Amino acid sequence: MAVINWAFLCDYAFVDPSGKASIIGKFDFISFSQLPKRWPQMFVAMELLIQNDEEITVSTAISSPSGKELARLHTQAITGKGKKMILPIGFYNIQFHEAGEHHVELFIKDVCVHHIPFNVILRATNPPTP
């Protein structure tokens, strides 16, 4: 069975042709001055170990503190070669409606195998000075 060795939430991630991952701006919270608000871009970067000739699908979802699914992305079928594989998945323009602990859920073959918690913080704005 496929295994996720590690996973990060970050601003951007990519894998070069030699298989080396670059993970830029790892974070565990985002902040807004008001809600609802859109976040322009976030990536999940993960390392998978897939068994020889195993075929899997990977999907990711973002859920809010109230349990609402904000976004879900699916990959095409991935066939294993008995080695590690780094997979970056990007989310764009996700709208957040509530503050609190959100989760990025990671699914292999439609079974949630890992989640990454992150907080959406509503920061106080300073009132204008006269």
Question: According to the 3-state scheme, what is the secondary structure of 37-53?
Answer: EEEEEEEEEEEEEECCC
- 55 confidence band (pLDDT: 50, 70, 90): confident
**How far is Cα 75 from Cα 46, in angstroms, rounded to an integer?**
13
Among the ranges given (8-22, 48-62, 75-89, 95-109), the one the predictor scored with the smallest mean pLDDT: 75-89
Distance of CA 58 to CAs 16, 25, 65, 70, 119, Å?
Answer: 20, 23, 23, 17, 24
Residue whose token pair is 């989640």: 115
**Residues in CB range of 20: below 8 A, 6 or more apart:** none
Given the structure tokens 């764009």, which residue do they identify? 92
What's the mean pLDDT in 9-35?
Answer: 95
Average pLDDT over residues 79-102: 91
Q: Where are the domains of the chain?
A: 3-122
Reading the block at residue 9, the tokens are: 């939430």
Residue 15 CA, distance from chain mean position:
16
**pLDDT tops 70 at residue 128:** no
Other Cβ atoms less than 10 A from the Cβ of 108: the count is 20
Identify the pLDDT of residue 129: 63
State residue 51's pLDDT score: 85
Q: CATH assignment of 3-122?
A: 2.60.40.1930
Quick one: what percent of the chain has pLDDT higher than 70?
95
Query: Is the CB of residue 60 less than 8 Å from the CB of residue 92?
Result: no
